[in-house]
Amino acid sequence: MTSPRGFLLLCRISLATIVLNVATGAAVRLSDSGLGCPDWPTCAHSRLTPAASLHPVIEFGNRMVVFALVITCALTYVASFTRRPARRDLRWLSGGLILGILGESVLGAVVVYTKLNAYVVMTHFMLGIALLTVSVVLCLRADHAPGRGTLAVSRRVLLLTRAYLVLLVVALVAGTATTGAGPHAGGKGAKRVDVGLADMSRIHAEAVWVTAIALLVILWALWRSDAPSHVQESGRILLGAMVAQGVIGYTQYLTHLPSLLVGIHVVGATLVWSTALWFHHGLSDHLPEAVGDGRESPGGGAGIAAPAQVPEPA
């Protein structure tokens, strides 16, 4: 039997491994190690382990992180069934981790066999962001009672925040395409995005500026409506993360895309997206989970009732 605290710990370990997978995947591309292991699932022909040289070791290191990711997410999925009190919503989200890993594995093989086609690499990265999303939501939901909670802000702010998340996804896709148009292909001869780097960078920057303005509007609306201080504080943290990411982005572009800065920017994108999901989740107040008799309720909880919904302010 798994306790809520133990299950939450597993969820957080899975999340950390997903972020590490993104970081090591970026290292593979930025070090031109994308074809360090030209075969899959073996490294080269019938050889499972890499040769003792830089590119194969870096590529194989990323594959080992993927192996660790499979183990941690599989443990999380199994624990979602042994967790007491039982939670149906956590089982579904844990299953989403398994589906995401399967998709990542298939696309990882396609990346290798298409010789690092930029469009396949972009799809692979965005699927990784989808996997990250499921993991973040799982961590957030596992930390409180089931249910949507009680909205702590106006519905207008909620809708603005959802629109902001859509804009942020557009900025992430544009940023991924910018990397696909840049010089870091992951290996020689890889097909690149058919848009000039300068043009793609401008599109990405414009998308980011629109997203930042949307966040400023949300912060202004929170201030005008005298929203709870913890919500306003989390909004300011999100703004700080976006500003830091923007500074890194402009610096890497003006310094001609050094690999280290590009890698930091890629990891920063995962942190900004995770912070945005955390901010959105925090717009509602949630009850702590009370341990009941372990029976599963129809609404997904066990031994407790979901928080009552109160009328939302206009």
pTM listed for this prediction: 0.87
Residue span of the structural domain in which 218 resides: 147-289
In this structure, the answer to whether residues 160 and 32 fall within a common structural domain is: no
Burial string for 45-66 (b: 16+ CB within 10 Å, else e) reads eeeeebeeeebbbbbbbbbebb
Pick from 81-95, 114-128, 131-145: least confident: 114-128
Yes or no: say if 236 and 253 are a contact pair by the CB < 8 Å rule: no
Under the banding of pLDDT at 50, 70 and 90, the label for residue 251 is: very high
- Residue 2 — φ and ψ, nearest 5°? -110, 130
Mean pLDDT of the chain: 86
Residue 299 belongs to some domain of the structure = no
Residue 159 included in any domain = yes
Number of domains the chain is built from: 2
Share of the chain above pLDDT 70, in %: 89
Phi, psi of 301 (to 5 degrees): -95, -175
Does 257 share its domain with 157? yes
Residues 155 and 85 in one domain: no
Task: Looking at the structure, tell me whether residues 70 and 184 fall in a common domain.
Answer: no
Q: Does residue 309 lie in a domain region?
A: no
**pLDDT tens-digit map of 290-307:** 654 455 544 444 433 334
What pLDDT digit, counting tens, does each position of 177-227 carry? 998 888 876 667 677 888 888 999 999 999 999 999 999 999 999 999 999
113 and 160 share a domain? Answer: no
Residues 198, 125 within the same domain: no
Segment (H or E) for 285: strand 284-285
If asked whether residues 23 and 50 sit together in one domain, one would say yes
